[in-house]
């Protein structure tokens, strides 16, 4: 009796054993066990795999072959990384907050939903719930929420993520992202925001116009005075 697993098209390999196990004979009514030690390759993703098994034997001097499948499960918990774009966020302004969600695990993510929790430090100007769907392994998705920050300083942004893996297991992740929020004056002092010189420019233009009209008036007065002398 010969048992052979074909590893050609599957992400597995024999580990500390052979891909083939042989028995001299199996007597009537007896049971023998074949144990294969295998290892999942780095490209094996979470899920259910079918291993082709071929059983060859001779019965009453007649060669026979039986082809079958063995089902095995590879489980790898998704690894989710959440970051917020390093942008300038101002208190009292309409801020677009971009949240990048990366799947660093070997398992694909499905049916992902993201919620922003409530806080006294900000008000949401966009829906608090967004549906992403699927994120493949080593891939990412970006969401955008619009917030009006009421407080400056380090503001906590509560985020709740619900999703499933390839095996339909449920996961929930609660995180708090710290976002630095500045007043406009602080941002200008730190060089994060250019000072608005619009009013200064307008004032300079008005002064120049006044000087121009004063010059024209003085020039006209001087010309009239000269004509009277003549």
What are 107-151's pLDDT values in tens digits? Answer: 889 999 999 998 889 999 999 999 999 999 889 999 999 999 998
Q: Kindly indicate the confidence band of residue 229, based on its pLDDT and cuts at 50, 70 and 90.
A: low
Q: Kindly indicate the confidence band of residue 77, based on its pLDDT and cuts at 50, 70 and 90.
A: confident
Judge whether residue 158 has pLDDT over 80.
yes
> What average pLDDT does range 167-183 have in this prediction?
90
Mean pLDDT for the chain overall? 86
* Encoded tokens for 173: 């992740």
Asked if residues 163 and 111 have their Cβ atoms less than 8 Å apart, the reply is yes
More confidently predicted of 160 and 211: 160
C-alpha dihedral, 113 to 142 to 127 to 109, nearest 10°: -10
Reported pTM: 0.64
Tell me how many helices (H) and strands (E) the chain has.
Answer: 2, 15
> What average pLDDT does range 86-115 have in this prediction?
90
Q: CA-to-CA distance for 221 and 182, rounded, in angstroms?
A: 55
């Amino acid at each position: 009796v010969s048992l052979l697993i074909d590893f050609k098209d599957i992400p597995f390999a024999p580990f500390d054993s052979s891909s083939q196990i042989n028995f001299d004979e199996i007597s009537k009514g007896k049971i023998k066990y074949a144990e294969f030690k295998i290892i999942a390759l780095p490209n094996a993703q979470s899920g259910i795999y079918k291993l082709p098994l071929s059983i060859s034997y001779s019965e009453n001097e007649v060669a026979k072959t039986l082809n079958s499948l063995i089902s095995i499960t590879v489980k790898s918990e998704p690894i989710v990384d959440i970051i917020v774009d390093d942008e300038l966020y101002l208190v009292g302004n309409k801020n677009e907050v971009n949240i990048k969600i990366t799947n660093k695990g070997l398992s694909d993510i499905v049916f992902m939903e993201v919620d922003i929790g409530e806080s006294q430090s900000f008000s949401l100007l966009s829906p608090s719930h967004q549906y992403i769907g699927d994120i493949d392994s080593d891939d990412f998705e970006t969401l955008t929420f619009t917030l009006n920050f009421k407080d400056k300083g380090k503001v906590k942004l509560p985020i709740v993520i619900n999703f499933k893996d390839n095996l339909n297991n449920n996961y929930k992740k609660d995180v708090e992202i710290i976002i630095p929020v500045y007043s406009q004056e602080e941002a200008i002092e730190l060089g994060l925001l250019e000072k608005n010189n619009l009013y200064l420019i307008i004032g300079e233009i008005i002064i120049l116009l006044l000087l121009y009209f004063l010059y024209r008036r003085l020039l006209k007065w001087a010309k009239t005075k000269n004509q009277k002398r003549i």
